[in-house]
Amino acid sequence: MLIWEQYDKDTWGTEWAALKRLALIKKMEDGSFTCLVGTSADMEWMTISDNLPGAKALCVRYLILANNCTSAERLRKLSHKL
């Protein structure tokens, strides 16, 4: 189970240690939520959501996809369907 931490009033994050991946969510000035997922060295995926629960769900879906894909190219192709 992933545990989300709130870093400040508009930033949340979680880590899937076994995958060596992080997910960060930032609430933007327009009220949308920007999601970033990747390693500590490289961003792999980004999307935008209208609400925080949706943003968290999208990040988790990407992390599960990353856990199940053995090919980086396949992961990139499938991540566009999230």
pLDDT at 47 (0 to 100): 96
- Residue 69: pLDDT band (50, 70, 90) is confident
pLDDT at 61 (0 to 100): 94
Give the model confidence (pLDDT) of 10-52 as tens digits: 999 999 999 999 999 999 999 999 999 999 999 999 999 999 9
Beta strands in the chain (DSSP E): 5-8, 11-16, 21-27, 33-38, 43-49
Beta strands 11-16 and 33-38 are unpaired
- Residue 73: pLDDT band (50, 70, 90) is confident
CB atoms within 10 A of CB 36: 16
Angle at 4 between CA 25 and CA 33, to 5 degrees: 20
The mean pLDDT value for 47-71 works out to 93
